[in-house]
């Protein structure tokens, strides 16, 4: 496997550090930048860093400079003055940054400061435009961006986000919150305006649609007002034994991780009480940054020793995936799969694509058997794997044993309304699936993923009138079969037949699933 070439690089920063006087260590409570100026002619930025923490003799803050894309710049910074103000207990460090070699394409610059060896003491500074410095307001745990640019809000080092900045960013309907650690702590009071908040971390991102949060109900459950409620998003890489177990599960599934293995979590928090939010009514987008390259990349959900595929779109530096729950996820590269009986078959490309995304399996001995009829249980399992669904309870069908290989898939398909049984309390899992049954299931899956095709009775009649066997279509299936035809998922078996009651093959099933995933932009 080839290492992914990093497309963005950041140079090392040269700093001049000066020694300071020894004072007793004070409790950390306040910090920030002050008296900032930028001379557009000389390119020099001057100002003062203040903090009420003394970090030891000879230790001064490091002033780091980043360009608009977050790359650290190689620029000269000198700390030239240090003193303690006894009246407020603050330590002051004056500095000068030489940004003269960086033109407008690097702006706005972002100044931050930290202390060597104190990773938790990284504080956001000012945004420097040409001749203008826009410092955020500091105080308390300080350091967050209270003056968002283009809807981007930078969280404090502990993940907290300024309510006013977030509310302002959401005025456009969406906001980006950048975090340097594992958590984003969003004040619920800023989320009542609605929209979408995307949390961006060093590992990836989490796109949170705020209409999935019933803030009033969550506040009531925790016994607080919305003003005292926090929505906490966690994007944390697994470590130690948990990471090793996940890697073993991925290896057993025939894959290798090409991203960090990350636990995505969403909670409502008030004081020492919390409620985890784990299920959504829609598919929520997340991304993971790629650390390696591969030919068959797919996102997977990892629970214990089980690995399940999730709808995935692969980009150059990251992969987006779509899931209606939270869990541990990773991007993996799957060992390539092929089938000897697909040579020159019309569906070979789509079948191999689904196999390499762990959605369809062969039948043994290196074969797929594309012409074999597919059963209702087999097709339910294909759809469930394609959408990454998981059941929260057992299926309520009298003919689906809990020990059956398809029990969980049928339960998930039933829970999300993709299958409805035969009206007698049975599912008929081993029956061959008809084309009209398959059409109904794929159109329900497409609607679940957010794409709905609404046809009037007249439009349904017009779509089906061109098929001479339209009279064979069950009354229950007419609207859904017409919608599947309109969506391009189902095609006629000839110029004037649709064969609604004919059995469908494994190849037809695979192609229909590819078309659904393409229609909802999940592949």
Structure confidence by residue, pLDDT tens digits, 428-478: 999 999 999 999 999 999 999 988 888 899 999 999 988 999 889 999 989
**Residue 149 has what pLDDT?**
56
The residue among 125 and 66 whose pLDDT is bigger is 66
Contact yes or no for 74/13 (Cβ under 8 A): yes
> With 0-12 CB in 10 A as exposed, 13-18 as middle and 19+ as buried, what is 295?
exposed
ω into 263 cis (within 30 of 0): no
What is the spatial distance between Cα 174 and Cα 193, in angstroms, rounded to a whole number? Answer: 10
Structure confidence by residue, pLDDT tens digits, 332-374: 999 898 898 898 888 899 999 999 999 998 888 889 999 999 9
Contact yes or no for 141/158 (Cβ under 8 A): yes
Strands (DSSP E) found in 279-365: 279-289, 297-303, 306-310, 312-314, 318-325, 328-334
DSSP notation for 32-86: EEEEEEE-TTT-EEEEEEEES----TT--PEEEEE-TTSPBP---EEEEEEEEET
Which pair of structure tokens corresponds to residue 419?
């299958």
> With 0-12 CB in 10 A as exposed, 13-18 as middle and 19+ as buried, what is 523?
buried
**Residue 153 has what pLDDT?**
86
Mean residue pLDDT of the chain comes to 82
Least confident of 4-8, 490-494, 503-507: 4-8
Is the pLDDT confidence value at 517 over 90? yes
Q: What is the mean pLDDT of residues 379-392?
A: 93
Structure confidence by residue, pLDDT tens digits, 278-330: 989 899 999 999 999 899 999 999 998 899 999 999 988 899 999 999 999 99
Contact yes or no for 51/33 (Cβ under 8 A): no
Q: What is the pTM of this model?
A: 0.70
What is the spatial distance between Cα 487 and Cα 493, in angstroms, rounded to a whole number? Answer: 16
DSSP notation for 98-115: E-TT--GGGPSEEEEEEE
Neighbours of 167 (CB within 10 A): 18
Q: Tell me which DSSP letter residue 493 carries.
A: S
The residue among 408 and 125 whose pLDDT is bigger is 408
What is the spatial distance between Cα 258 and Cα 474, in angstroms, rounded to a whole number? Answer: 47
| Rounded-to-10 torsion of CA 151, 154, 160, 162 | -50
**Percentage of the chain lying above the pLDDT 90 cut:** 47
Cα angle vertex 511, ends 517, 412, to 5°? 55
**Residue 14 has what pLDDT?**
26
CA 129 to chain centre: 31
Residue 271's SS3 state is: coil
**Residue 116 has what pLDDT?**
59
Is the pLDDT confidence value at 176 over 80? yes
Quote helix, strand, coil % in the chain, to nearest 5: 25, 30, 45
Least confident of 184-193, 400-409, 417-426, 499-508: 417-426
Which pair of structure tokens corresponds to residue 80?
């030239």
- Nearest residue to 233 via CA among 211, 260, 201: 201
Ranked by mean pLDDT, the top range of 1-10, 202-211, 494-503 is 202-211
Residue 23 confidence class, pLDDT cut points 50, 70, 90: very low
Domain locations in the chain as residue ranges: 1-143, 146-238+259-292+317-327, 340-519
- Nearest residue to 129 via CA among 146, 149, 112, 113: 149
- Nearest residue to 470 via CA among 511, 439, 513: 439
Residue 82 confidence class, pLDDT cut points 50, 70, 90: low
**Percentage of the chain lying above the pLDDT 70 cut:** 82
Read off φ and ψ for residue 19, nearest 5 degrees. -75, 150
What is the spatial distance between Cα 257 and Cα 330, in angstroms, rounded to a whole number? Answer: 7
Residue 6 confidence class, pLDDT cut points 50, 70, 90: very low
Contact yes or no for 334/254 (Cβ under 8 A): yes
Contact yes or no for 204/288 (Cβ under 8 A): yes
Structure confidence by residue, pLDDT tens digits, 108-122: 677 777 765 544 344
Is the pLDDT confidence value at 75 over 60? yes
Q: What is the mean pLDDT of residues 8-22?
A: 25
């Amino acid at each position: 496997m080839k290492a992914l070439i990093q497309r963005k690089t950041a140079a090392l920063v040269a700093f001049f550090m000066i020694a300071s006087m020894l004072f007793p260590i004070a409790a950390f409570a306040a910090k920030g930048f002050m008296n900032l100026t930028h001379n557009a002619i000389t390119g020099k930025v001057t100002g003062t860093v203040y903090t009420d923490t003394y970090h030891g003799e000879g230790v001064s803050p490091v002033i780091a400079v980043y360009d608009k894309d977050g790359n650290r710049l190689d620029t000269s910074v000198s700390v030239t003055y240090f003193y303690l103000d006894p009246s407020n207990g603050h330590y002051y460090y004056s500095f000068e940054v030489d940004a003269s070699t960086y033109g407008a394409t690097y702006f706005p610059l972002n100044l931050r400061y930290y202390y060597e060896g104190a990773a938790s003491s990284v504080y956001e500074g000012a945004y420097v435009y040409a001749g203008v410095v826009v410092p955020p307001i500091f105080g308390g745990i300080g350091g967050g961006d209270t003056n968002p640019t283009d809807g981007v809000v930078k969280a404090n080092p502990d993940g907290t986000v300024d309510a006013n900045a977030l509310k302002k960013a959401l005025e456009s309907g969406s906001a980006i919150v950048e975090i340097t650690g594992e958590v984003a702590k969003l004040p619920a009071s800023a989320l009542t305006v609605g929209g979408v908040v995307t949390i961006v971390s060093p590992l990836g991102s989490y796109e949170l649609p705020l209409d999935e949060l019933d803030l009033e109900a969550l506040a009531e459950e925790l016994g607080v007002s919305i003003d005292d409620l926090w929505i906490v998003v966690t994007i944390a890489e697994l470590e130690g034994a948990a990471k090793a177990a996940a890697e073993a599960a991925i290896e057993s599934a025939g894959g290798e991780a090409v991203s960090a293995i990350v636990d995505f979590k969403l909670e409502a928090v008030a004081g020492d009480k919390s409620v985890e939010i784990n299920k959504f009514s829609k598919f929520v987008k997340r991304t993971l940054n790629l650390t390696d390259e591969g030919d068959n990349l797919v996102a997977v959900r990892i629970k214990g020793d089980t690995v399940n595929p999730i709808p995935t779109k692969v980009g150059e530096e990251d992969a987006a995936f779509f899931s209606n729950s939270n869990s541990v996820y990773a991007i993996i590269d799957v060992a390539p799969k092929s089938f000897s009986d697909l040579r020159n078959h019309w569906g070979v490309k789509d079948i191999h694509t689904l196999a390499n995304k762990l959605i369809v399996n062969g039948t043994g001995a290196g074969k797929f058997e594309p012409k074999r009829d597919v059963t209702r249980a087999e097709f339910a399992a294909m759809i469930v794997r394609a959408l990454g669904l998981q059941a929260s309870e057992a299926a309520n069908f009298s003919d689906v044993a809990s020990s059956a290989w398809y029990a969980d898939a049928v339960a998930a398909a039933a829970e999300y309304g993709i299958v409805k049984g035969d009206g007698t309390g049975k599912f008929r899992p081993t029956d061959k699936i008809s084309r009209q049954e398959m059409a109904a299931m794929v159109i329900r899956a497409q609607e679940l993923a957010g794409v709905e095709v609404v046809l009037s009775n007249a439009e349904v009649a017009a779509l089906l009138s061109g098929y001479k066997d339209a009279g064979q279509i069950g009354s229950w299936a007419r609207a859904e079969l017409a919608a599947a035809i309109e969506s391009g998922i189902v095609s006629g078996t000839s110029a004037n037949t649709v064969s609604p009651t004919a059995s469908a093959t494994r190849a037809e099933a695979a192609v229909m699933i590819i078309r659904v995933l393409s229609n909802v932009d999940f592949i």
